[in-house]
Amino acid sequence: MPLSVQSRSVGDITVVKCDGRIIAGAESAALRQHMNDLLPNAPWIVLHLGDVPFIDSSGLGLLVRILARTGHGNLKLCAVPDKVAYMLKITKLATVFDSYESEADAIAAFYQPETRPGKSLPFLPASILCVEKSVDLLTYIGELLRQGGFSVITVDNLPDALILLKATRPKLVIVGTELRSASGTWTENTFNELIDALWVIELPVDFGSLDPSETGQHLLDRVRALIGPTARR
């Protein structure tokens, strides 16, 4: 069965999930091509290996090469199966990679100070977390805030938003009305309960269809009023 590789963005981090063996041939080529498409523009990577039953020597070499290519970023592994973890231990590569039990743990680790010698400090948490289902609107708001001098992380779904909320502890959350009013699931309830303790700006339903020259400036003014003039990383 060929290796399946899928990725998604969680804030500034890219989660890459593999399903199948990582071995010499088409399987390693598929992962290599996927990473070539991501790097160097997405150097902060979590590699989810939960559905990878076996990695051969070529596959392990590929993982080392991917780690090296992240440059100023980093590659963290998560959900590593026992058999793969054993291979990493026997080959002494367990000391090369940072491994975590879950995606959430690996993502959170990017926002914590590095303790291993020779590692540069990770990027600092952003002051603003923006959560909105429309990717186009999310992109616009993120760039608007960055141009306004603010550090911001954007995400388009509540499960990933909850991970980032716990990991980065932002000063302010900007959230779409639909997501802010969501309730019923553990994720929805927990997210909205947690942000009740923070500054929150709720985007109106028609925000994306209004004149950006007015709504953009109004949003920046509200942000500045709550957390100050700028909050760069």
Residue 77 forms beta bridges with which residues?
47, 99
Q: Where are the alpha helices (DSSP H) in 50-169?
A: 57-69, 82-90, 103-109, 135-147, 158-168
Whole-angstrom distance, CA of residue 145 vs CA of residue 153: 10
| Selected residue with higher pLDDT from 220 and 119 | 220
pLDDT, position 210: 83
**Percent residues over pLDDT 70 in the chain:** 92
Half-sphere exposure of 184 (CA within 13 A, CB side): 3
What pLDDT is attached to residue 126? 73
Q: Is it the case that residue 232 has pLDDT exceeding 60?
A: no
User: 105: which residues sit within 8 A by CB, 6+ positions away?
Assistant: 78
Question: What pairs with residue 220 in β-bridges?
Answer: none
71 pLDDT band, cuts 50/70/90, is confident
On whether the CB atoms of residues 57 and 84 are closer than 8 A, the answer is: no
Structural domains of the chain ordered from first start: 4-109 (3.30.750.24), 128-227 (3.40.50.2300)
The overall average pLDDT reported for the chain is: 90
Query: What is the pLDDT, as a whole number, of residue 117?
Result: 47
The three-state DSSP-derived secondary structure of 22-80 is: ECCCHHHHHHHHHHHHHCCCCCEEEEEEEECCCECHHHHHHHHHHHHHCCCCEEEEECC
- Return the pLDDT at 230: 64
Give pLDDT, residue 114. Answer: 64
Cα separation, 180 vs 201, whole angstroms = 10
Residue 58 near residue 42 (C-beta atoms within 8 A)? no
Give percent helix, percent strand, percent coil of the chain, each to the nearest 5. 45, 20, 35
Mean pLDDT of 5-10: 95
Global pTM reads: 0.85
Contact 187, 162 (CB under 8 A): yes
Give the pLDDT confidence of 162-208 residue by residue, as tens digits. Answer: 999 999 899 999 999 999 999 999 999 999 999 999 999 999 888 88
Task: State how far the alpha carbon of 125 is from the alpha carbons of 191, 197, 224, 231, in Å.
Answer: 18, 18, 18, 11
For 134-154, how does the pLDDT look when each residue is reduced to its tens digit (9 = 90+)?
999 999 999 999 999 999 999
Q: What is the pLDDT of residue 124?
A: 57
pLDDT at 122 over 80: no
pLDDT beyond 80 at 1? no
Out of 51-65, 120-134, 182-196, pick the least confident: 120-134
Interval 13-43: pLDDT, tens: 999 999 999 999 999 999 999 999 999 899 9
